[in-house]
């Protein structure tokens, strides 16, 4: 590990383009054989082994340095005992290898690979390599990652170098056909785009292997020069958009799409989903300005945790248990029609759906069979529980809420009937069509689940609950 780090340091130094007084580094004098791999170039091999290109050509009798066959074994000539390698005194990065032992990290919900790399102060590429990750956008919750040893002391000195304006490529074509001897880094450099962008747009997982004849897409860039510093700033390609709104990355495990509401801010969204602001931004690199989110703009958030109101304490509901529950709620549901004109099939379907046939946490613990919350006007006992809700854009989230508590199922049904006497539900009173009643009760705001109407109707038809509408006298029996 230590020797590899030393080699990497030397390579970093060699890439500096502005040279002053040089330091002499002695090259290895041993002769080596090297087998050509796909993507290799003669100049890259010469640079790797710190020999001149001419000596490498001469040792292998190469007349055209642009063409080398994959699989050919090259002789690497011995370098001079005192081969000078120029090292710039300014503008270099000096890296001291660390002897720190490798660590591990278990991925949690909401984590991103870049955030983990930043946390442990390692490069994203090193973290991907150490864990053999080909797609850094997808990491599984619970996976144990190896954290590569980091540099204990990294110092970066910026050379004061006057730079000139770089004009963007004027090539009309946005594609490039790979030729023999090409490397991905050379193509990226030729078109003045970053290697990461070139890999990403062409979905390349191994940048050392590219097939001759493959047509690569070249991402577009724009450049401008700062008049104050003289440095060149490169604008990377903007994120893909729909009607000008950036498209979010595909959600990973433990993540979901959120549609922005009017008045939303980055902070309010992060708080809504129990996330840190930093993680929210890391999960959404496509968002350039968090201060100008568009209504219905899609971003990625962490999936909400399970709510207690969704917990079923009695899950193995048999057919006999279902029939017994229907018989249990039917008398009070029929009474609700006779006293307040609430359709029995609606009352019974809601009790079944909201309480999961009487097996839900709320119905078992506090006899609340309809999920009715306790407002400030409620004077009876309550229980506070986390519950899943849907906002007006259909986004699922979890919030803590107070729910009403009762002594019996009869009390729960009676209070449900009185609850529907509020003016907002006046349009369902006296209705005899269950389809209309189930549609209106959702529209009136009883539940936030967008599928609420369909769920109620499917229960009514599956268990023939309209027969109780007939028994109550709300509907005439079909002949």
CATH number at 55 reads 3.10.350.10
The phi and psi torsions of 288 (rounded to 5 degrees) equal -85, -45
Q: Place 57 in a pLDDT band, splitting at 50, 70 and 90.
A: confident
210 and 204 in contact (C-beta within 8 Å)? yes
Q: Place 459 in a pLDDT band, splitting at 50, 70 and 90.
A: very high
pLDDT of residue 288: 84
Q: What is the pTM of this model?
A: 0.40
248 and 293 in contact (C-beta within 8 Å)? no
299 and 260 in contact (C-beta within 8 Å)? yes
**Which CATH number belongs to the domain containing residue 424 in this structure?**
1.10.530.10
Residue 157 lies in a domain: no
Of 19-23, 178-182, 293-297, 395-399, the one with minimum mean pLDDT is 19-23
Say if residue 118 is in the same domain as residue 188. no
Residue 163 lies in a domain: no
Distances (CA, A) of 261 to 291, 307, 392: 13, 23, 8
Say if residue 462 is in the same domain as residue 320. yes
Say if residue 317 is in the same domain as residue 194. no
347 and 417 in contact (C-beta within 8 Å)? yes
> Residue 456 pLDDT more than 70?
yes
Calculate Rg over the CA atoms of the chain. Answer: 34
Say if residue 468 is in the same domain as residue 427. yes
Q: Is 465 exposed, middle or buried (0-12, 13-18, 19+ CB in 10 A)?
A: buried
Cα separation of 61 and 175, whole Å? 35
Say if residue 352 is in the same domain as residue 455. yes
Say if residue 365 is in the same domain as residue 461. yes
Say if residue 268 is in the same domain as residue 131. no
Cα separation of 472 and 470, whole Å? 5
Say if residue 10 is in the same domain as residue 32. no
114 and 252 in contact (C-beta within 8 Å)? no
221 and 192 in contact (C-beta within 8 Å)? yes
Structural domain harbouring 329: 309-472
Cα separation of 223 and 16, whole Å? 22
Percent of the chain with pLDDT over 90: 23
Say if residue 54 is in the same domain as residue 196. no
Distances (CA, A) of 32 to 1, 28, 42, 73, 273: 22, 10, 15, 10, 58
> Residue 238 pLDDT more than 90?
no
Specify the number of domains making up the chain.
Answer: 6
CB-based contacts of 430, cutoff 8 Å, min separation 6: 341
Cα separation of 444 and 427, whole Å? 9
Please tell me whether residue 198 adopts helix, strand or coil conformation. Answer: helix
Say if residue 337 is in the same domain as residue 383. yes
Residue 231 lies in a domain: yes
> Residue 209 pLDDT more than 80?
no
- Between residues 236 and 450, the one the model is more confident about: 450
Residue 164 lies in a domain: no
Residue 159 lies in a domain: no
Please tell me whether residue 20 adopts helix, strand or coil conformation. Answer: coil
Of these ranges, 168-177, 324-333, 359-368, the one predicted with the greatest mean pLDDT is: 324-333
Say if residue 75 is in the same domain as residue 90. no
pLDDT of residue 31: 56
CB-based contacts of 48, cutoff 8 Å, min separation 6: none
């Amino acid at each position: 590990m230590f020797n590899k780090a030393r080699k990497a340091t030397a390579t970093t130094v060699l890439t500096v383009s502005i040279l002053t007084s040089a330091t002499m580094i002695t090259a290895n004098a041993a002769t080596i054989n090297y087998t050509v791999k796909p993507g290799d170039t003669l100049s890259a091999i010469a640079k790797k082994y710190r020999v001149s290109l001419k000596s490498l050509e001469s040792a292998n009798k190469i007349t055209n340095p642009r063409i080398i066959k994959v699989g050919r074994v090259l002789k690497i000539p011995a370098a001079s005992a005192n081969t000078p390698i120029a090292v710039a005194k300014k503008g270099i990065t000096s890296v001291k290898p660390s002897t720190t032992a490798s660590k591990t990290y278990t991925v949690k919900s909401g984590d991103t690979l870049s955030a983990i790399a930043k946390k442990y102060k390692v490069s994203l590429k090193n973290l991907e390599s150490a864990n053999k990750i080909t797609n850094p956008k997808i990491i599984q919750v619970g996976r144990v990652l190896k954290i590569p040893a980091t540099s204990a002391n990294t110092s970066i000195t910026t050379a004061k170098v006057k730079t000139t304006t770089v004009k963007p490529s004027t090539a009309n074509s946005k594609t490039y056909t790979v030729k023999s001897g090409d490397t991905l880094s050379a193509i990226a450099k030729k078109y003045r785009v970053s290697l990461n962008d070139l890999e990403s747009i062409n979905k390349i997982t191994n940048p050392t292997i590219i097939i001759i004849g493959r047509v690569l897409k070249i991402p577009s860039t724009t450049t401008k020069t700062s008049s104050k510093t003289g440095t060149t700033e490169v604008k990377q390609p903007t994120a893909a958009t729909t009607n000008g709104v950036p498209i979010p990355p595909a959600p990973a495990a433990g993540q979901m799409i959120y549609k922005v509401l009017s008045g939303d801010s980055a902070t309010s969204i992060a708080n809504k989903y129990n996330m840190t602001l930093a993680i929210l931004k890391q999960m959404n690199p496509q968002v350039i300005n968090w201060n100008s989110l568009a209504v219905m703009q899609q971003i990625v958030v962490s999936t909400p945790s399970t709510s207690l109101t969704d917990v079923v304490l009695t899950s193995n509901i048999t057919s006999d248990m279902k029939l017994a529950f229907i018989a249990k709620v039917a008398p009070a549901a029929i009474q609700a029609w006779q006293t307040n004109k609430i359709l029995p099939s609606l009352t019974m379907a809601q009790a079944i759906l909201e309480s999961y046939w009487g097996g839900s946490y709320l119905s078992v613990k506090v006899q609340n069979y309809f999920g009715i919350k306790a407002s400030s006007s409620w004077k009876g006992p309550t229980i506070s529980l986390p519950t899943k809700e849907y906002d007006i854009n259909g986004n699922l989230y979890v919030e803590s809420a107070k729910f009403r508590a009762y002594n019996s199922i009869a009390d729960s049904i009676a209070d449900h009937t009185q609850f529907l006497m509020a003016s907002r539900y006046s349009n369902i009173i006296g209705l005899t069509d269950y389809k209309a009643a189930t549609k209106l009760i959702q529209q009136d705001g009883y539940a936030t689940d967008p599928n609420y109407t369909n769920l109620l109707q499917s229960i009514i038809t599956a268990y023939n609950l309209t027969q109780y509408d007939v028994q109550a006298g709300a509907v005439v029996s079909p002949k």
